[in-house]
Amino acid sequence: MVFFKELEFDLPSALLKELVALFDQMESGPLNDVAVETVSEDQGVYQLLFRGELVYIGKTDADAGLRQRLLRHSKKIRSRMNLDQSEVSFKVVRVYVFTAMDLEELLIKHYKSSSIPLSWNFSGFGSNDPGRNRDKSKVKASHFDRLYPIDLNVEVCVLQQESSYSVAEVLKQMKEQLAYTVRFQGQGERSKKPHQDLVERKVVLRKEADSVLSIL
C-alpha cells in the first residue's frame, strides 16, 4: 500500500510560461492617459513597447497599482525630446495571486535570453527622481535622460489677471502643468511654501517653458 508521495511543482516556471504566452497573444494599447485610465489599480506586471519593440518590463504591488505606475510613465514620456508618445504602447496583466517570486526579474531574464535587449530596463527610465542630487548626476550615453532629454519648449498657460506675476505663483502653475519635476526653494526644509523672495518678486512672461525658466 502506497500512502505517501512527493510532488515538486515548479511554480515560477509555470507562471512565467503562462505570462509569456498571455503577453504574446495580447495587442498593445497606446500609452496615454485615456487608455491607462481603463486599467485597474491593482498589482501585476506590464510591458512597454517603443515602435513595436519591447523595451521595458515592470511590476507593481497593491500599494502602487498598475494605473498609477503607467500614468507616471505616460507623463514622463510626453515631456521628452526625441520621443513621440504615440510610438509608445503597453500591455498589462493583473496577477491575482502575488507570491514571493520576483515576476519582473523572471520576465527580464526570459526576454534577455531571447536576445531582446529591453533597452529601457536599467537605463534609468523607471527610477524615481533622486531630488536635488539630479543636478550633479553624471549619466552614461545610453542613459534614458541622455537619449531623451526633457523638452523645455513646452507651452504653459499661467492664469493670473495682473500684468506682472509673482515668481512663486508662476512656479506653482508650471509645476502643476509640466510633465517633469520643477523644484524651487521653500521657506524651510520641511515647508512646502515657496521662499518669501519668490513670493515678492514679479516677472513678465513669454510662452515657452524655457523662456519662463530663463526669466526666473
For residue 28, being part of any structural domain is answered with yes
Could you tell me if residue 36 is left (phi over 0), alpha (psi between -120 and 50 degrees) or otherwise beta?
A: alpha
Of 50, 29, 30, which is closest to residue 147 (Cα–Cα)? Answer: 50
Please tell me whether residues 91 and 21 are part of one structural domain.
yes
38 pLDDT above the threshold of 60: yes
| Same domain as 177, residue 106 | no
d(CA 33, CA 6): 49
Is residue 215's pLDDT more than 80?
A: no
Grade residue 64 by pLDDT with cuts at 50, 70 and 90. Answer: confident
**3-class DSSP assignment, residue 182:** coil
Strand 44-50 relative to strand 165-166: parallel, antiparallel, unpaired? unpaired
Residue 131 located in a structural domain: no
Q: Which of 8-17, 96-105, 147-156 has the lowest mean pLDDT?
A: 96-105
Residues 16, 106: contact at Cβ < 8 Å? Answer: yes
Query: Letter for the amino acid at 132?
Result: R
Report pLDDT for 205.
Answer: 66
Give the pLDDT confidence of 113-134 residue by residue, as tens digits. Answer: 999 999 999 898 987 655 555 5
In a domain, 1, yes or no: no
Q: Does one domain contain both 98 and 178?
A: no
Q: What is the span of the domain harbouring residue 208?
A: 165-215
Grid look-up 519582473 returns 104
* Domain termination site, one of 88, 113, 138: 113
Q: pLDDT (tens digit, 9 = 90+) per residue, 162-174? A: 666 788 888 888 8
pTM recorded for the entire structure: 0.78
With respect to residue 147, please indicate whether it lies within any of the assigned structural domains: no
Least confident of 35-44, 45-54, 140-149: 140-149
- Whether 118 is in a domain gets the answer no
CATH code at position 31: 3.40.1440
**Is there a domain that residue 145 lies in?**
no
Task: Note whether 100 and 190 are same-domain residues.
Answer: no
Look at the chain and report how many structural domains it folds into: 2
User: pLDDT per residue over 132-146, tens digit each?
Assistant: 555 556 778 888 988
31 assigned to some structural domain:
yes
Are 133 and 181 spatial neighbours (Cβ–Cβ below 8 Å)? no
pLDDT at 140: 83
